[in-house]
Amino acid sequence: MGHGGNVIQELTTDHREVEELFTRIESTAGTDPERRQLADHLTMELVRHSVAEEQYLYPAVRRYVDGGDDLADKEIAEHSEVEHLLKELEACEPGDAQFDILVARLRSSVAAHVKDEEDRLFPLLADACPPEGLDGLGEKVRKAKKVAPTRPHPGAPDEPPLNKLLAPGTGMVDRARDALTGRGKDG
């Protein structure tokens, strides 16, 4: 992921890519090894996206949007739920009955989260934050995704400053593991 534009454009593009990954997983035969590759790719994208939102989007929501603390807290709680599901999915193989159940639960949870962000949070932020602020956030989000972890870490901090301090190191370890195992090369 990494597309350009302001933070809302960047994250909306991520949302469409994740929806496409869900569709590809669901349309691939049950035991096809490609499903594992697609699930790994989905996990990598969702984790990077979530980390970037937690580092930059939600602090901006807290700063600019009336009631932003409650909005940000709700979104972070949803991320936590998704991350726990991703951790469970990581342990499943495509032929397992639990695999399809987890993919369906993930899709439902992510779809509700995306709808809330796009229908409510993004318009509120766009109205409250100056355009140059949104542009700067877009650039920060793109940079954060490049160094973010690629695996779920449900116990990791999800708010600044600790998330900004620990995520790059965790991301480096995850990318080293991915390189050694070949994870993320396909999909």
| Across 64-73, 85-94, 111-120, 144-153, least confident range | 144-153
Q: Dump pLDDT digits (tens) for 65-83.
A: 999 999 999 999 999 999 9
Domain count for the chain, please give it. 1
Is the pTM higher than 0.85? The answer reads yes
Q: What is the H or E stretch that residue 17 is in?
A: helix 7-26
| Across 9-13, 52-56, 97-101, 158-162, least confident range | 158-162
Asked whether residue 2 is assigned to any structural domain, the reply reads no
Asked whether residue 44 is assigned to any structural domain, the reply reads yes
Asked whether residue 187 is assigned to any structural domain, the reply reads no
- Distance CA(17)–CA(87), nearest Å, equals 20
Asked whether residue 153 is assigned to any structural domain, the reply reads yes
Asked whether residue 186 is assigned to any structural domain, the reply reads no
User: What is the average pLDDT across 140-153?
Assistant: 92
User: What is the average pLDDT across 131-149?
Assistant: 96
Give the domain extent around 147: 7-179
* CATH classification of the domain holding 95: 1.20.120.520
Asked whether residue 56 is assigned to any structural domain, the reply reads yes
For 33, which DSSP code? H
Q: Is the peptide bond prior to 154 cis by the omega test (within 30 degrees of 0)?
A: no
Residue 42 has pLDDT above 80, yes or no: yes
User: 94 Cβ partners below 8 Å, 6+ apart?
Assistant: 30, 31, 32, 33, 35, 36, 39
Identify the pLDDT of residue 1: 44
Mean pLDDT of the chain: 91
Phi, psi of 148 (to 5 degrees): -70, 160
